Amino acid sequence: MTARLWDVMGLRKWGYALSLLVTIPGLIVLVLNVMNGHGALNWGVDFTGGNFLHVRLERPFDTGQVREVVDRVATGQSVIQKTEQEAFIRTRPLTAQAKTQLLTGLKERFGAVTVLREDQVGPKVGQELRSLAITSIIIGLALQVVYISYRFKSIRYALSADLALVHDLLVVVGVFAMTRKEVNSSFVAVLLTVLGYSMHDTIVVFDRIRENLALRTRETFDRLVNRSLLEALVRSVNTSLTAILAIAAVYFFGGVTIRDFSFGLMVGILTGTYSSTFTATALIVDWTHWADRRSGRTRPAEEEASPPIAPPREPALEAPGPDRAPSRAAGPSQRKRRSRRR
């Protein structure tokens, strides 16, 4: 009943259009950022290199006060974290003179400053981390193709799921490019989390399709996929809404340092839910239809499931002939006539 009321697979072309609508603007911004010399993304200290300071301050402070001092010396976005009287400061690469000015400014504002740890990451190390992050994502996608192909005995499901995952990654990267939010090591965690969450949702829908295929119903493949999707849709939406509400609380009340991470997770979960329930399944349907047309096969339709069985016809009544035995149900008048003839 529900599948007939809401024909999702019949509107899958609109789903493709929506996917392009949310993906292409981000790609355009990435290209424009490169052409303008700003960098495709706003790479953080973890990828560009920089300085790390772990200091203990004498007076009470908050991260906003420390940031005011850091921004006087370090150009660009810095990352500041706090635990009681200790502060963790990550900045762009600093010269020895700029680092001295930073420590002097902290002493003037917060009293005595004790340097507990000091590290410096060069640009080369940042490039290696960037290459390692991209390589890890590619390897993860490849391993998922192998697993899904083995699990569902078809490479169609694997490649459709991976295309949906690429869609999710492009949306998240495009949103970060448009908002110019900092891309640091936590951004890699965002991408990997989105991959895992979206893949889990996709597997749930694919598993429902496989279960319904095992029932060997006589409905068309797109009708079966549509019914399977609607059966798993409520679960996917409820799970995603619960996760987004929890992450939204972290975004608003968790502080500045974790805000970009929470923002990326919310965007990734939202687009992952959409792509796993609509984009991946739509790709499966179109791929299957294309394979059937190429091989010349046709799938049975619901209305052609089985021809209607005609009701049994009653035999026609025939008048008894001269050489036909009289019926036992003859009336009294007929019995009298027979006795007179004899």
- Portion of the chain with pLDDT greater than 70, in percent: 83
| In a shared domain, residues 117 and 206 | no
Instruction: Name the residue type at position 58.
Output: E
Query: Of the spans 58-62, 79-83, 318-322, which averages the highest pLDDT?
Result: 58-62
| In a shared domain, residues 141 and 166 | yes
Start-to-end Cα distance in the chain: 72
Positions of E strands within 13-130? 42-43, 50-57, 79-83, 86-91, 113-121
Task: Answer yes or no: is 27 within a domain.
Answer: yes
| In a shared domain, residues 159 and 106 | no
pLDDT of residue 15 exceeding 70, the answer is: yes
Average of pLDDT values for 181-189?
83
- Portion of the chain with pLDDT greater than 90, in percent: 12
pTM over 0.75: no
Summarize pLDDT for 204-253 with one digit per residue, the tens. 889 998 888 888 777 888 888 888 888 888 888 898 899 999 999 988 88
| In a shared domain, residues 258 and 109 | no
Provide CB contacts within 8 A for 262, sequence distance 6+: 247, 248, 250, 251, 254
Q: Listing from the earlier edge strand, what are the strands of the sheet with 86-91?
A: 79-83, 86-91, 50-57, 113-121
Summarize pLDDT for 268-281 with one digit per residue, the tens. 999 988 998 889 99
Structural domain boundaries enclosing 91: 50-121
Distance CA 193, CA 243 (A): 12
Distance CA 12, CA 281 (A): 9
| In a shared domain, residues 134 and 234 | yes
Q: For position 167, what pLDDT does the model report?
A: 92
| In a shared domain, residues 146 and 10 | yes
| In a shared domain, residues 111 and 134 | no
pLDDT of residue 97 exceeding 90, the answer is: no
How many domains, the chain?
A: 2
Q: Where does the pLDDT of residue 125 fall: very low under 50, low under 70, confident under 90, or very high at 90 and above?
A: low
pLDDT of residue 315 exceeding 60, the answer is: no
Q: Where does the pLDDT of residue 76 fall: very low under 50, low under 70, confident under 90, or very high at 90 and above?
A: low
Summarize pLDDT for 143-172 with one digit per residue, the tens. 888 888 888 888 888 899 889 999 999 999
| In a shared domain, residues 116 and 130 | no
